[in-house]
Amino acid sequence: MTVQQKMKTLTHFINGVETAGTSGRYSEVYNPTTGEVIAQVPLATRDEVKQAIQLAKSAFPAWKKASIGKRIEVLHRFRQLLIERQDELIEVICEESGKTKEDAKGEIVRGIESVDMAISAPQMLKGEYSVNVGGNINAFSAKAPLGVVATIAPFNFPVMVPLAITSMAVAVGNAVILKPSERVPISALYLSKLWKEAGLPDGIWTVVNGDKEAVNELLENKEIQAISFVGSTPVAEYIYQTGTKHNKRVAAFGGGKNFMIVMPDANLEQTANAFLGAAYGAASQRCMAISGAIVVGKDTEKRFTEILKEKVLKLKVGPYTDNEVDFGPVITQQSKDTILRYIDGAVEEGANLVTDGRNPEICETSKGFYLGPTLVNNVTPDMTIFKEEVFGPVRIVVGVEALQEAIDLINDHELGNGVTMFTSSGSAARKFQEEIEVGMVGINVPIPIPVGYHNFGGWKRSKFGEGHMFGPDQARFFTKAKTISERWPDETEDTTSSFAFPSNNDVNK
């Protein structure tokens, strides 16, 4: 028996049933901690995706007609199952993503925030009512689900992002198709079991595993009404352009180059501690991770870099089974190789390695995809490592002379996902928050990711489309409005024809 035959073969989840793939094409799923292949995931054909869409379409009318109370009952049960099965879910996340257990638990907690927001859907779905807008006509609005919607999730948050981009869609009455990253499909399939157990009708939650072939069918199929995507900027732009070309509502969230401005009046010890977790947590594989520090003043830059170096050298990298580690491996060997090229390129362009994580000690004893924390200074805006998002534990320090220079550097960058500033000056903070052209802003907050009931979304090339992840805008994104004007004339009322454009000039009518 070959290794491939021994390997666990995953499925899709279609119409409430685990469904074997028929394409004959598979992608390997790795445990980044060991470097071992733990499963193979089927890559769906267009025909498989079409069938899944049709089954979701058939299930949609009944879910649409279900009372909002009934739908929220299912979400309450689903939420409870997430809490009850938290330990199992942590193990699944850690095994296929390499995250530490603490980080995986935090991801689940933030994911539950999105479920909590979805449970408030009745409030989000309330319409407006006006009495006697003219001629004894009452006008009111109602919100309706779109139908079948598609969501495409990244590898770096196997649970939080799927929950963030699907929970509200389910709550407001849509049938949802999730295409998870083929690197972390096991978490999505685990969520499928919980939805089933919570009582969600078959066909309302679908998981289709696949690559670009499956994605293109979702983007082009006329039955898909909306697409929500989280991933890299180039793919986000492709999703947006292709989806809108086929008349779909699209919210595509891309990458970020998220800087931390460090002012001379900041507490440098506290700021360095904040930088560490925000920059290197989850091996820096977060779209809201701090990419680097822009430090105002030469003396401040020197002192901050010295403090940071001492702390970075103490960080521990290792497997999630070790509760003492600060972060684990990156997701694949390919990712590791890409990150190594960024480090080598920075050195070639004249940057200086403050700490070099290219050969962490654990590499000698493990086949996992490990990199140590790397800190680079003497970085200038024309360098590749400044311009591009590095999805791994390589962070930079940039020195500037004044706050305005720092703001200008960030505003000139093509990405505008998140930014933060550490200072004790209220006037500097006010200037920063007013002038910065970034979607999510923090002041003395290391990772300015909004809570579940505020809208999430960057500016510039970090987001395409007007939808948001998290917050009340999600309910708007996944619904459409209908405005109704009604009048009930008395049988004795004069109903002679009028050819004037309707107006409320005659208040007695």
What is d(CA 327, CA 154) in angstroms, rounded to the nearest whole number? 19
Token look-up 């920059």 returns 279
CA-CA distances (angstroms) from residue 93 to 96, 100, 307, 399? 6, 9, 33, 38
DSSP result, 123-150: HHT---EEEEEETTEEEEEEEEE-SEEE
H or E element, residue 356? none
- Active-site residue, selected from the candidate residues 14, 82, 169, 287: 287
Task: Copy the structure tokens of residue 34.
Answer: 């060991």
What is d(CA 480, CA 27) in angstroms, rounded to the nearest whole number? 37
Task: Copy the structure tokens of residue 272.
Answer: 């360095």
Count Cβ atoms within 10 A of the Cβ of residue 269 and give its class: 0-12 exposed, 13-18 middle, 19 or more buried: exposed
Task: Copy the structure tokens of residue 244.
Answer: 């809108």
What is d(CA 227, CA 249) in angstroms, rounded to the nearest whole number? 6
What is d(CA 296, CA 407) in angstroms, rounded to the nearest whole number? 11
Q: At what angle do helices 185-198 and 68-84 cross, to 10 degrees?
A: 130
Q: Helices H, strands E: what count in the chain?
A: 17, 23
Q: Which residues lie below 8 Å from residue 97, measured CB to CB, with a gap of 6+?
A: 32, 104, 155, 156, 158, 183, 184, 187, 331
Question: Which residues does residue 203 pair with via DSSP β-bridges, in sequence order?
Answer: none
The SS3 assignment for 62 reads helix
- Candidates 81, 77, 63; CA nearest to 172 is 63
* Annotated catalytic residue 287: yes
Catalytic residues: 287
